[in-house]
Structure 1
C-alpha cells in the first residue's frame, strides 16, 4: 500500500512557502502605500496650507496629519503585528499591538484637540461637530477606545472563559477592520470638506490635486490592509496547545 503522507506534507510546505512570499510582497506594498500617505499629508499641509503652529490658525494642520498617523497608519500596523512577526511569542506581540494602539490613540487625541482649538479661535469661531466628517470621525475614535478596553479585559486579564474569548476574537477582528475602514472614510470626507472650504475646488488647484491623490492613496491603503487581514493563509498558525491570552500572573500566550 502506498503512503502519500510525505508527499502531502511536502505539498503543504511548498504552498506555505509560496503564501509567505506572497504575504511579504503584499505587506511591503501596503507599508509603502501607508508611508506614502503620511508623507503626502505632510507635504500637502506644509507646502499648501502653511505648515504647523500650535498658537494660531495653523494649529488645524496638526489634525489631519495626526489622524492619518494615528487612526490610519499606526492602527493598521498594529493589526498586522501578529502576521508580520508570526514566529514571535504572543506576549511580546500583545505588548507591541497594545503599544501601537496607545500611540494611535495619543496621536488621535492631540489631533482632535487641535481641530477643536482651531474652531474655537476668536478669529474663526466655527461651530463644532456639525459635519458628517466630524460625526464619523468622533464615532470611530469612541469605537476604537471601546474596542481597546474590551480587548484588554478579554485577552489580558484572566476574567473570561476560553469559550467567551474564542467567541469574542472573531468580533474583535471584525470590529478592528471596520473601525479602520471607518477611519479612512472619515479622512476622505475631511479631505473633500477642506477642499470645498478653499473656495476654488472646481478649478482644481495644485493643493486640490495633491489632496485628491492623497485620497486615492488612502483608499488603496485601506483595500490592501483589509485584503491582507482577510486572507486566511496569511494568518499566524496557532498551536493547539497555545492558550489564547496573556495572564498577567502567569505570562501565558494569547
Structure 2
C-alpha cells in the first residue's frame, strides 16, 4: 500500500476520535443531563444522541473504510461484504432505536414532532440509509444481479454512502446545538457555560472524525485491489469491475497459497483432458 504509515496514523486517529466522541456524549448525558432511562422522560431522550453517535456516526464510519484495511485484502470479497453489511445493519438498528426514543419522549411530554430542520434531515438520512442498505444487499451481496448492473451502480452506491455519512454529521451538529439552546436555562448558550463548551468540543471531535473517514474513503491509492480471479476474467473476457463479486471462498488465505491451488487445479484439468484424449484414440 502506498503511504501505509499515513494510513495507519489516520486510522488510529479516526478510531480514537470516534471513541472519544462516544465517551464525550456519555459524559454529557450522565453528568450534565438527566442520565439514561426508558421511562418517557428526558432521560429517555438522552438515548437519542448516544445511539446516533455510537451507531450512525462511529459504526457507520468504520463500515465505510473497512474495505480499505490492507490486512483484509487477502480476505474474499464476500466476507468483506458481509462485514460491511453487518456494520451498516448495526448502525441502522441504533438509529431506529434512537428515533423511537425521541418520538416516545416527545409524545409523553406533548412536544410536537418533526418541526425542526434537524428532524427533517435526520429522518431523511435514516430513510435513505435504509434504502442504501437494502439495495446494497440485493444488488451487491446476493448473486442474482448481473455484472453490468453492479458495475453501473457501484459509483452511485459509493457516492450515496459518503453523502449520507456527511449528512449524518451535519444533522448531529444541528441536533446538539438545538439541544443546548433548548436546555440551557440558568446560563444561556450565548454566555458559553461549561456544558456548552464541553458539547461544542464534542461537535469538533465529530467533525474531525468525519473528515478523516471521508479522506481515507476517497483516496484512490488506498482502494482495495481487484482479486486475482477478477483480473484473470478481465483479461479473458474483457469484463470490468464487478466480476470479483462472486468469489467461491469466504476465508482469508495468503494469495500465494491461492495461486498454488489455482495452478494445481489447472494441472489436474489438463491431465484429465490428456487422459480423455488418450482414451478416445485407443
Per the TM superposition, whether the score is higher than 0.5 is yes
What root-mean-square deviation, in Å, do the aligned CA atoms of Structure 1 and Structure 2 show?
A: 1.7
Counterpart of 2:174 in structure 1 is: 189
Question: Residue 40 of structure 1 corresponds to which residue in structure 2?
Answer: 24
In structure 2, the residue matched to 1:204 is 192
Instruction: Determine if the alignment matches structure 1 residue 90 to structure 2 residue 102.
Output: no
Compute the displacement of 1:91 (Å): 1.6
Q: Runs ≥4 in structure 1, deviation > 4 angstroms?
A: 250-253
Q: Which residue of 2 aligns with 1:67?
A: 52
Q: What's the offset of the Cα at 1:99?
A: 1.1
1:113 paired with 2:100, answer yes
Matches within 5 A, 1:196-235: 196-198=181-183, 199=185, 200-235=188-223
For residues 69-88 of structure 1, give each alpha carbon's deviation from its aligned partner in whole angstroms, at most 9, with x where no partner exists.
Answer: 11100111111111112332
Deviation at 1:252, TM superposition (A): 8.0
CA contact (8 A) 2:229 2:244 kept: no
| Distance across 1 between alignment mates of 2:73 and 2:197 | 39
Q: Write the deviation string for residues 152-189 of structure 1: whole angstroms up to 9, x where unpaired.
A: 11112233221210111111111111100000100000
Check the 8 A contact 2:44/2:101 in 1, yes or no: yes
- Which residue matches 2:36? 52
Aligned residue number for residue 128 of structure 1: 113
Q: CA deviation at 1:205?
A: 1.2
Determine the C-alpha separation between the residues in 2 that align with 1:95 and 1:118: 35
Contact 2:35–2:46, Cα closer than 8 Å, also in 1: yes
- In 1, Cα distance between equivalents of 2:77 and 2:225: 12
Q: Which residue number corresponds to residue 23 of structure 1?
A: 7
Structure ID, larger Rg: 2
Q: Secondary structure at the match of 1:244?
A: helix
The CA deviation at 1:119 is 0.3
Aligned counterparts of 2:20 and 2:76: Cα–Cα separation in 1: 30
Whether 1:244 and 2:260 are equivalent positions in the alignment is no
Cα shift at 1:240: 5.5
Q: Give the TM-score, by structure 2 length.
A: 0.79
Q: Is the 8 A contact 1:133 1:190 kept in 2?
A: yes
**Aligned pair count?**
233
Structure 2 regions of 5+ residues with no counterpart?
231-242, 252-282
| Unaligned segments of structure 1, at least 5 residues | 1-15
